[in-house]
Amino acid sequence: MQYKDYYKVLGVSKTADKAEIKKAYKKLARKYHPDVNPNDKDAEARFKEINEAYQVIGKEENRKKYDQFGQDWKHADQYGQSGGRQGGGQRGYQQYQYTGSPGGEHDFSDFFESIFGQQARGGGAGFSGFGGRETHFKGEDMQAELTLQLTDVLTTQKRTLTLNGKNIRITVPAGVENGQRIRLKGHGGKGVNGGPDGDLYIRFNIQNNTPFRREKANLYKTIDLDLYTAVLGGDVLLDTLDGQVKLKIKPGTQGNSQVKLKGKGFPKYKKDNDKGDLIVTYQIKIPTELSDKERQLFTELKDLQS
């Protein structure tokens, strides 16, 4: 009997843990399930091979024997007692057979239920090779991306998406962040044999169309102050997301100093009326071209300081 590499069958490494093996098995079993591939003999053969592989390396005890004895893993106990390979007789390999009846050599229905956590029922259309009962599979989860401007998520709003010719009405929460995902249960691929539909995951692509830098609910902005306002003080008008505010500049304001405007930032997630802060950084703008009169005055100031 030709040696079968069950790790290769499931597409996992020999160091894969139990969770990785189970995940790979479930993915392949859904892909090659006869209900998904009706009248496809190649898919059915692959499906049986996948189950065979999982019966061996998906069970810790069997996997240890397989890793040590390969295709003869079923006779591991005999080898352990005799200290070596038994001569004569049939070699230690038994191939799993799919017979499509409860009297067959292996009935995988209970096995499938334990793996997928789904119920099987008798009769009806669809694949019923496991003891005459159907196995239900959840539909495939789907991904979608929604691009919005930053100002679009200042408040909670409704949006309509069109996917596969179907309109889906969703709520976009205020304060949603770039890259954030939400799940719409039951809006994914159709289930198999009456199984539940998959879910739809929407990823938000938020493009910043404002002059502010955003970090969660806080906004940041750097503004220029002319030298005279920084030295003498004064007022500066600043545009925020909800109107203009007047900043009172103190005399002797230093470069890179900051002021925090409470509640003038971005809405917190799902909280339209609860906002973060706007942090303003002052950058002193030094004049580069001076008139003769200005140069004279600066010289006089320098002399006064001396």
Tokens standing for 26?
Answer: 């479930």
Q: What is the pTM of this model?
A: 0.56
What is the CA 225 to chain-centroid distance, rounded? Answer: 44
Question: Which pLDDT value is given to residue 81?
Answer: 55
Whole-angstrom distance, CA of residue 98 vs CA of residue 33:
13
Q: Return the structure tokens found at 247.
A: 């900043």
Query: Could you give phi then psi for residue 250, rounded to 5 degrees?
Result: -80, 145
User: Cα separation of 135 and 132, whole Å?
Assistant: 10
Rounded to whole angstroms, how far apart are CA atoms 90 and 290?
102
Query: Would you state the pLDDT for residue 195?
Result: 85
Positive or negative torsion for Cα 97, 103, 109, 114: negative
Model confidence pLDDT, tens digit, residues 245-283: 999 999 999 999 999 999 999 999 988 889 999 999 999
pLDDT in the model for residue 71 = 74
Close Cβ partners of 269 (under 8 Å, ≥ 6 residues apart): 173, 174, 175, 176, 177, 217
pLDDT of residue 36: 80
- The C-alpha atoms of residue 147 and residue 160 are separated, in whole angstroms, by 13
Q: Pick the more confident residue, 278 or 133.
A: 278
What the block records as the tokens of 234 is 């004064």
